[in-house]
Amino acid sequence: MKQLIHLKLGTLVLFAALILPTVAHAQRVEVFKLKDQAADAQFMSFDSTGCIRTDVAVIVASAKIKDTGNPLDVEPFLGVTYAVSDLCNQVLLRSGFGSTNVPNLQMDSGLVATHASATVPVSDDQHGTTIYLYVDLDWSGVGDILNLRVKDFTDTPPFSVKFRAKGSFRDATVSGSVSDGTVNFTPDGSFLFGDLQVVQEGSVTIQRD
């Protein structure tokens, strides 16, 4: 792990060195680096009457952030949004959002697989209460990996900012459940869409005299 962090820091130093000669009088140089691994999933299901529709969206992520003067910061996250609607009577029965920063995550940078589990406190907006949803999901990457790169340079005195980003994205199948201990909000056949992604970005900001 220390070797990996040193490698990242070395890359940032080199990145900064490439643009420093173009600035005659730099007062301050700030370097920022972010690597974010994420997975998301969407589900939709209907009850036996066809009237009650349940929608669930889950996103999990682990961000590694390093900026000038601060130690490496690792920020895990798992968020759940849900809604239960009576389409026949056009009534929203339940809905809410919740998140946790202490999920159990296993994520690989090759966009092959991800596992996430957690107990998430979420709001029940229609009743003004909090419920707990138990998330236990597995993502499996399918198909080709899409790679994107972005570069940008802004020179607006007294600042110059050089920005680079790259991302890799892959579709995924998702299995598992999101439940409140009694009701499974993601029954078989409800899966709609899943995605795995790794995004890296870095910037160097120079403040001139």
In a structure prediction context, what are the per-residue pLDDT tens digits for the chain, which is 209 residues long?
A: 333 333 333 333 333 343 344 444 546 888 888 889 999 999 999 999 999 999 999 999 999 888 888 888 888 999 999 999 999 999 999 999 999 999 999 998 899 999 999 999 999 999 999 999 999 999 999 999 999 998 888 887 777 888 888 999 999 999 999 999 999 999 999 999 999 999 988 888 888 76
Report the run of H or E that residue 15 belongs to, with start and end.
Answer: helix 2-19
Q: Return the residue matching tokens 């490698």.
A: 7
Strands (E), 68-145: 73-86, 91-100, 104-107, 113-124, 129-141
d(CA 116, CA 138): 7
CA distance 39 to 56: 14
pLDDT of the residue at 29 = 83
Q: What are the structure tokens assigned to 4, written together? A: 């990996």
Please report the pLDDT score of residue 61 as a whole number: 95
Q: Is the pTM of this model over 0.85?
A: no
Contact 140/176 with Cβ under 8 angstroms?
no
Q: Which of 46, 44, 45, 76 is nearest to 57 (CA)?
A: 44
pLDDT at residue 168 in the model: 95
Q: What is the pLDDT of residue 27?
A: 66
Phi (first) and psi of residue 52, to 5 degrees = -95, 115
Contacts of 124 (CB under 8 A, 6+ apart): 94, 95, 96, 130, 131
Which range of residues forms the domain containing residue 12?
2-208
**Residue pair 33/66 in contact by the 8 Å Cβ criterion:** yes
Count of domains in the chain?
1
